[in-house]
Amino acid sequence: MRILESVNLPRRNGTTAHCKLSPMCGRYALHTSPEVIALAFGLAGVPAFAPRYNIAPASQVLIIRKNEAAMVRWGLIPRWAKDPSIGAKLNNARAETVAEKPSFRDPYRKRRCLIPASGFYEWKTEAGRKQPYYVLPSKGELFAFAGLWESWNGPDGALQTCAVITTEANETMSAIHDRMPVIVAPEDYPEWLAGSEGLLRPCPTGAIAIRRVGRTVNNARNDAPGLIEPDQG
């Protein structure tokens, strides 16, 4: 997912940091109820979380691992990293290189996850301005992004983080962007988590719908249900 606007991203201490968004940044929403999520992934329950409509990198996000759910920080910090700030550059991993990149190859082999999302945002330049679009499931109410997680031991203890894997856009998505998250089909959840190959591909064209939304979402401080509603402008 790529955004080329400037936003304010949350730090661990609750303050915000100004970030010029790059191709490694993204934004998504998760407002599906915990009960529906638990049912979708065959879990007894998931950690409590507030509905979010503008999740930005460095946020605490819900992930699904084998037989459990957890809240971790978005922006993967490799185990070998000396400086945790590297996580700001590792929000996404490209499907084409994830198995070879030093930051991702070990989690790819050993620490995979699914990242639930109600939808995600992408931007397209129109008339010289970045216009946001919201991408949502054409059926149902939940995506599962292919993800990786890692545990980094810092001065304050272990910090768990994650990254979203992206791939080339399918035909529907290519109308606004050339990349998209890898969306794992429900029947492939166990295979992905078990380490199967061959799943890092675009989802079927008919699996997603796209709507134009207002530019209020461009500011990561804004987080309200109205962000995902069709643009009336």
Active site residues: 25, 122
Question: CA 101, CA 106: separation in Å to the nearest integer?
Answer: 9
Query: Residue written as tokens 């997603």?
Result: 208
Question: CA 118, CA 105: separation in Å to the nearest integer?
Answer: 27
Contact 145, 184 (CB under 8 A): yes
Q: Which of 36, 27, 81 is nearest to 59 (CA)?
A: 27
Q: What is the DSSP letter of 152?
A: E
- Residues in contact with 7: Cβ distance below 8 Å, sequence separation at least 6, in sequence order: 18, 19, 21, 25, 56, 218, 219, 220, 221
Contact 122, 1 (CB under 8 A): yes
What beta strand segments (E) does 48-202 contain?
52-55, 60-65, 68-74, 92-94, 112-117, 119-126, 129-137, 143-154, 157-168, 179-181
